[in-house]
Amino acid sequence: MAFDNWGPQDLTAPAKRQLPEVPVQRGMVLEDVQSGWVGEVTRVEKTGGMHIVSLEDRRGKTKSFQLGYGFLLEGQAIRLMPPAPRQPASGVSPGRTASGSVKVQGQRAQVAKASRIWVEGKHDAELVEKVWGDDLRVEGIVVEPLHGVDDLKSAIAAFRPGPDRRLGILVDHLVAGSKESRIAAEAMTVPGAAGNVLIVGHPYVDVWQAIRPKVLGIEQWPAVARGTDWKTGILTAFGWPHETAEDIGLGWQRLLGAVRSYADLEASLLGRVEEVIDFLTVP
C-alpha cells in the first residue's frame, strides 16, 4: 500500500498533514511506520512527561513507543493521542458504575489484595474490567487471565490458596459432562482449595457469546460449523476480517465497544461474576 509523501519529515512536521487524532485504547492494533512493528496495545503509561504505548506482536513480544505521529490504524495514518477521559456508560446513572453498583465517591483504589479473580483469557478479563472494573478497584481485587484451564489444578496448587488468599475462577463452557467440568472437579482436590477457591462458569463456548445479541443488532449468535475455529467462524459470518490474530483482536474490540453496562450482558454471566465477587469480598 502506498502512502502519499509519507516519510521521516512527517514525524516532525505534523502541521503539513491533517491526520485524524485517535485516542489510544487497549486492544487496538497499530503499526509503527518507522520500524514496521505491528502489535496490539497492551499498556499505556505516562513517564517523564510523555505517554508511552506498549505494542505486543503475534509472537508475544512487546515494544514501546511514544504517542503521536507515525502510526497506522487499519492501514490509515493517524496521530495517536492519550486515552480519552472515561465517560459514564450509556444508560448508567452518573451515580452508579457500569455493573449497576452505587459509585463510591472520592475513594481511591485499594492496594491489591492477595485474592484474585482468574478468567480464561484476555477477552474475558477485558469484559470483566469494562463492567466491574470500578467495583473491583474499590475492593482491591485483581483480574488475571489464565489463557486456558487445562492445567488448572497445577495453577491453583502454585497459588497456595488459604483464608487470606482466595481464588474465584470463571470458566468458559462449564456445563455438566464437559471437559471443563471434569477439570474443575479435579482442581478442587488441591489442598487448601475447599472453602478458599470458588470455580463457576457460564454455558458459552466463548465469552463473546455473553454479549446479548440485540446489543449487536442481531437476533442470535451465528452457528459455527464443527471443526471451525469459533471466533473465526463468527467474524466470517459477520463479514468482518478474520484471517489473522490482528483481525480477531479488532473484531473483539468492535464487540466490546458495544457493551456499555451490565444490561448488555446475559444473566448467566452476570450472576456468576457477582457470585465470585461476593465470595472474595464478603467475610
Calculate ∠ Cα 36-41-42, nearest 5°.
Answer: 130
φ, ψ for residue 94, nearest 5 deg: -55, -25
Q: Which residue has the cell 473491583?
A: 136
Examine the domain organization and report whether 57 and 122 are in the same domain.
Answer: no
DSSP string covering 18-83, please?
A: -PPEEE--TT-EEEETTT--EEEEEEEEEETTEEEEEEE-TTS-EEEEESEEEEEETTEEEEEEPP
Backbone angles phi, psi at 67, to 5 degrees: -65, 155
Does 218 map to a domain? no
Sign of CA pseudo-dihedral 236, 237, 240, 246: negative
Show the domain range for 25: 8-81
Kindly give the confidence (pLDDT) of every residue in the chain, 283 residues in length, as a single tens digit, with 9 standing for 90 and above.
343 434 444 444 444 457 899 999 888 899 999 899 998 888 887 766 678 888 988 888 888 898 999 999 988 899 999 887 655 455 555 565 665 554 555 555 455 678 999 999 899 999 999 999 888 888 889 999 998 899 999 999 999 999 999 999 999 989 888 899 999 999 999 999 999 999 999 999 899 999 999 999 999 999 999 999 999 999 999 999 999 989 999 999 999 999 989 899 999 999 999 999 999 987 7
Nearest to 203 by CA among 169, 168, 174: 174
Residue 185 shares a structural domain with residue 269: yes
Residue 180 inside a domain? The answer is: yes
- Tell whether 65 and 145 lie within a shared domain: no
- The span from the CA of 69 to the CA of 279, in Å, is 46
Residues 19 and 64 in one domain: yes
User: In the listed set 35, 64, 81, which residue is the last one of a domain according to the structure?
Assistant: 81
Question: Domain holding 123: CATH number?
Answer: 3.40.50
Degrees to nearest 5, angle at CA 154 with 150 and 157: 145
